[in-house]
Amino acid sequence: MLNLILFGPPGSGKGTQAEKLIEKYGILHISTGDLFRYEMGNNTPLGLKAKEYMSKGELVPDEVTIGMLKNKVDANPDVSGIIFDGFPRTIPQAEALDVFLAEKGTEVTALVALDVPDEELVKRLLKRGQSSGRADDSNEEVVRTRISVYKSETAQVFDYYNAKSKSKLIPGVGTIEEIFERLTNAIDEACC
Ligand code: AMP
């Protein structure tokens, strides 16, 4: 299986690139942010729980997120690979993912991280907020909290997989096509 972690701060372009990567590699896209937004839209207990955290720009607790992720993977047993977008965001999530994949006889192939300067992230997120209707993209304070949560809680996941020689840092500024080419070069080097 081709198991990719598409990594990077909020606003770094993960969603846009994931769309193109699933087309090229024919693998499943799992975005934990999209899954939470779906639950929120349906006012499920999980959605209401997630909303408490998402509206403030904080992370949803690990056990909730990991459980949801496992359910989604288990619901798609026949895929040839998965792009994990927005997951793992903490070291316990990364450890849980490794154990979970090992139980299935597979592993993370590579983590590809999009590198974008902070002020560019803020600009992109606020712009996206104007059209997406996402509450957490529309408020500058929440946007800045998400970037600082990324630095304090999530960035270590890059080092965790780097210690396993699986992390690659990709410049995330340029055209969508340029960034896509850098990503696919890095992925093809890691997997094929
Ligand atoms: P995203 O769409 O990936 O930017 O995620 C939006 C929000 O969903 C985040 O700010 C978190 O509140 C929540 N979220 C998404 N993925 C995770 C995760 N792996 N762990 C904890 N919270 C998450």
Closest to 24 in 3D by CA, of 64, 83, 74: 83
Q: Determine the distance from the C-alpha atom of residue 102 to the mean position of all C-alpha atoms in its chain, rounded to a whole number.
A: 20
CB of 32 closer than 6 A to ligand 1? yes
Predicted pLDDT of residue 117 = 97
Which residues are paired to 167 by β-bridges? 111
Q: Determine the distance from the C-alpha atom of residue 187 to the mean position of all C-alpha atoms in its chain, rounded to a whole number.
A: 16
Axis-axis angle for helices 32-41, 62-74 (nearest 10): 100
> Ligand 1 centroid to 33 CA: how many Å?
5
Predicted pLDDT of residue 96 = 98
pLDDT digits (tens, 9 = 90+) for 110-161: 999 999 999 999 999 999 999 988 889 999 999 999 999 999 999 999 999 9
Domain ranges of the chain: 2-27+79-191
The pair of structure tokens assigned to 190 is 């890691």
Distances in Å between the alpha carbon of 18 and those of 7, 24, 126, 171, 176? 10, 10, 21, 16, 11
Fold of domain 2-27+79-191: Rossmann fold (3.40.50)
How does pLDDT run along the chain (192 residues), one tens digit per residue? 999 999 999 999 999 999 999 999 999 999 999 999 999 999 999 999 999 999 999 999 999 999 999 999 999 999 999 999 999 999 999 999 999 999 999 999 999 999 999 999 999 999 999 998 888 999 999 999 999 999 999 999 999 999 999 999 999 999 999 999 999 999 999 986
Distances in Å between the alpha carbon of 174 and those of 22, 99, 152? 20, 36, 26
Active site residues: 14, 89, 128, 134, 146
Q: Is the pTM of this model over 0.75?
A: yes
Distances in Å between the alpha carbon of 90 and those of 3, 12, 131? 18, 18, 29
Q: For atom 1 of ligand 1, which residue has the closest CA?
A: 33
CB of 10 closer than 6 A to ligand 1? yes
The answer for residues whose C-beta is within 8 angstroms of residue 92's C-beta and 6 or more apart is 62, 66
Residue 88 near residue 94, CB atoms below 8 Å: yes
